[in-house]
């Protein structure tokens, strides 16, 4: 019996390993052909909706895509969503009448009803701070600014489908427009933004199981989109000979973004990971075969030496071939490696700028390296920092993390919410990565202080740096490896396993 259970775990581990190692292309959006015939519940303002509006155009467009459209107004019962594949909410629907009736719906939601974002938990509740609608009457100057979006994320499935780049693009056609923005919580993914800030997200998403801005968990995929009530037909696109110009193709992508975001919302989400440390261990052992790890530390350093030794021992036990290098060793030592782990015993000053551009996956256990590694901006205590460091931090020691990206394999199947990371409160580092990073955990009560996150290969990192391979932060201060709880160790293993993927 035990052998049977063990076999199942190994199999689960192999499956887990395969899932984590999936390249982005294989995790692509479902093709339209697979989505045809699905039913969409389209929530609009009904006959009393403000005029003019594009609801009829949107409904016609959805039908052209092969979807079945059932149009209702804000008085709709939440049960009307049963059996549908997607709820689409227009900004013509009365957000106050809608309330939170779809907040707990296990059906994906695609919405451009900005005032409904707080009801759905997609943003905070404060107008102008957490969300806003720009319109040419109230905000004439800004209504020109929203004609320009910025590709904040270039590696999400939506971004890849559109070919989004970290540059401006035309959101809507030329004249001053009405558009909405939202500031999603740490579990959200900002795809595009306005006004040069990710706080003003034009398009943003939540994966199923991601933590919403109000702390609840997304029961299904959620998409916020910048559209106004009457400008669907002005979403940018380019046709005919002008479309042969690659710059114009990358500029006029409003309709492509709409399509990709719609497809993403309709596509099946990744399977929910389950917390199974043994299956994770099996997957990691499978992945470790023949893999070489460069472990960079302060060799013969005082504090943290035991922790480094035990970390290396753990990796070797998993089957990795580990080379230990001193922080001062030249970068060429990384050649032929499959993974680089930088210990928190390293001196930031002595490490200098090494390993930044190495096309080998890299995990930093030291959050204070975030600026040098382009994980975040360079302003300490604003872009990165620490809790619990005597004389260096006003924040108390901490040993819990808040899981906000439970859907990601990096979360090791842990449920959203607080998880005990180490046995005792101590130093925990954090950084605020760019939107291309997948955030797994934040520090408790600090939604902008991200403790565990990963950048996929090709991601846009701070300063416009493009990740040459996967990059991750896992804050493990000097003595912490031996103090990690089983959940903490699972997070460590899951991040290592993720980093080894392509």
Rg (Cα) of the chain, in Å, rounded? 23
Binder of other proteins out of 47, 52, 137, 240 (CB under 8 A): 240
Q: Which stretch binds other proteins (CB under 8 A): 229-237, 264-272, 370-378, 436-444?
A: 229-237
CB of 128 to other proteins, least distance (A): 28
| Nearest Cα residue to 169 out of 236, 239, 223, 244 | 236
Q: Which stretch binds other proteins (CB under 8 A): 6-14, 169-177, 397-405, 466-474?
A: 169-177
**Residue 97 main-chain phi, psi, to 5 deg:** -70, -35
Using CB under 8 A as the binding rule, whether residue 330 contacts other proteins is answered as: no
Q: Where are the alpha helices (DSSP H) in 289-362?
A: 305-318, 348-351
Using CB under 8 A as the binding rule, whether residue 56 contacts other proteins is answered as: no
Binder of other proteins out of 80, 85, 248, 466 (CB under 8 A): 248
Q: Which stretch binds other proteins (CB under 8 A): 47-55, 172-180, 211-219, 469-477?
A: 172-180
Using CB under 8 A as the binding rule, whether residue 243 contacts other proteins is answered as: yes
Using CB under 8 A as the binding rule, whether residue 239 contacts other proteins is answered as: yes
The size of the interface with other proteins (CB under 8 A), counted in residues, is: 16
Q: Which stretch binds other proteins (CB under 8 A): 1-9, 13-21, 239-247, 325-333?
A: 239-247
CB of 136 to other proteins, least distance (A): 12
What residues have CB less than 8 Å from 172, skipping those under 6 apart? 146, 147, 179, 231, 234, 235, 236, 254
| Residue 175 or 272 with smaller CB distance to other proteins | 175
CB of 172 to other proteins, least distance (A): 10
- On the CB side of 39, CA atoms within 13 Å amount to 10
Using CB under 8 A as the binding rule, whether residue 247 contacts other proteins is answered as: no
Cα–Cα distance for residue pair 213/236, rounded to 1 Å: 29
Cis peptide bond prior to 52, omega within 30° of 0:
yes
| Nearest Cα residue to 279 out of 409, 84, 148 | 409
Residue with tokens 């100057």: 141
Residue with tokens 């009904």: 46
Cα–Cα distance for residue pair 43/441, rounded to 1 Å: 34
Cα–Cα distance for residue pair 161/309, rounded to 1 Å: 44
Cα–Cα distance for residue pair 237/364, rounded to 1 Å: 41
What residues have CB less than 8 Å from 15, skipping those under 6 apart? 283
Element (H, E) at 157: helix 157-162
Q: Which stretch binds other proteins (CB under 8 A): 171-179, 210-218, 314-322, 487-495?
A: 171-179
| Residue 54 or 157 with smaller CB distance to other proteins | 54
Binder of other proteins out of 175, 303, 423, 482 (CB under 8 A): 175
Binder of other proteins out of 32, 173, 275, 465 (CB under 8 A): 173
**Angle 166-170-171 (CA atoms, 0-180°, nearest 5)?**
100
| Residue 233 or 310 with smaller CB distance to other proteins | 233
What residues have CB less than 8 Å from 379, skipping those under 6 apart? none
Q: Which stretch binds other proteins (CB under 8 A): 85-93, 243-251, 372-380, 399-407?
A: 243-251
The 10 Å Cβ neighbour count of residue 299 is: 15
CB of 91 to other proteins, least distance (A): 20
Q: Which stretch binds other proteins (CB under 8 A): 237-245, 258-266, 407-415, 466-474?
A: 237-245
Binder of other proteins out of 174, 313, 352, 418 (CB under 8 A): 174
CB of 225 to other proteins, least distance (A): 19
Contact residues toward other proteins (CB under 8 A) are: 173-175, 233-234, 236-244, 248, 252
């Amino acid at each position: 019996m035990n052998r049977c259970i063990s076999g199942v775990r190994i199999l689960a581990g192999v499956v887990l390993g395969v899932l984590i190692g999936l390249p982005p292309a294989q995790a692509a959006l479902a093709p339209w052909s697979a989505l045809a015939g699905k039913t969409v519940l389209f929530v609009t303002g009904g006959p009393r909706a403000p005029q003019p509006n594009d609801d009829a155009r949107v409904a016609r467009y959805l039908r052209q895509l092969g979807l079945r459209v059932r149009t209702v107004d804000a008085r709709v019962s939440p049960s009307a969503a049963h059996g549908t594949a997607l709820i689409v909410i227009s900004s013509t629907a009365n957000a106050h009448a809608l309330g939170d009736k779809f907040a707990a719906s296990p059906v994906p939601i695609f919405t451009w009803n900005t005032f409904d974002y707080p009801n759905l938990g997609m943003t905070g509740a404060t107008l102008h701070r957490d969300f806003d609608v720009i319109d040419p009457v109230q905000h004439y100057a800004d209504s020109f600014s929203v004609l320009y979006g910025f590709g904040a994320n270039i590696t999400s499935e939506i971004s890849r489908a559109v070919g989004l780049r970290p540059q401006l693009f035309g959101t809507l056609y030329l004249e001053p427009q009405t558009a909405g923005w939202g500031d999603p919580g740490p579990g959200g993914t900002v795809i595009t933004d306005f006004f040069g800030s990710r706080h003003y997200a034009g398009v943003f998403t939540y994966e199923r199981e991601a933590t919403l801005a109000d702390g609840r968990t997304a029961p299904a995929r959620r998409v916020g989109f910048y559209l106004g009530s009457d400008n669907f037909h002005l979403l940018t696109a380019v046709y005919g000979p002008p479309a042969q110009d690659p710059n114009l193709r990358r500029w006029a992508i409003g309709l492509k973004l709409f399509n990709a975001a719609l497809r993403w919302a309709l596509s099946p989400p990744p399977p929910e990971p389950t917390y199974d440390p043994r299956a994770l261990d099996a997957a990691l052992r499978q992945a470790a075969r023949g893999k070489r790890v460069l472990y960079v530390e302060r060799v013969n350093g005082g504090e943290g030496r035991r922790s480094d030794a035990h970390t290396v021992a753990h990796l070797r036990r998993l089957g990795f071939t580990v080379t230990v290098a001193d922080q001062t060793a030249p970068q060429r030592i990384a050649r032929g490696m499959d993974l680089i782990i930088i210990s928190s015993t390293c001196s930031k000053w002595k490490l200098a700028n090494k390993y930044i551009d190495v096309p080998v996956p890299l995990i930093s256990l030291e959050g204070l390296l975030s600026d040098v590694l382009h994980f975040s901006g360079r302003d300490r205590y604003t872009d990165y920092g620490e809790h619990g460091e005597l004389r260096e931090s006003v924040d108390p020691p901490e040993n819990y993390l808040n899981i906000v990206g439970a859907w990601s394999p990096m979360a090791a199947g842990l449920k959203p919410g607080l998880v005990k990371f180490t046995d005792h409160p101590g130093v925990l580092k954090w950084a605020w990565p760019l939107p291309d990073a997948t955030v797994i955990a934040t520090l408790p009560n600090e939604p902008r202080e991200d403790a565990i996150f990963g950048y996929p290969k090709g991601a846009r990192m701070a300063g416009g740096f493009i990740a040459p391979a996967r990059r991750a932060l896992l804050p493990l201060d000097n003595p912490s490896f031996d103090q990690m709880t089983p959940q903490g160790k699972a997070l460590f293993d899951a991040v290592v396993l993720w980093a080894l993927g392509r």
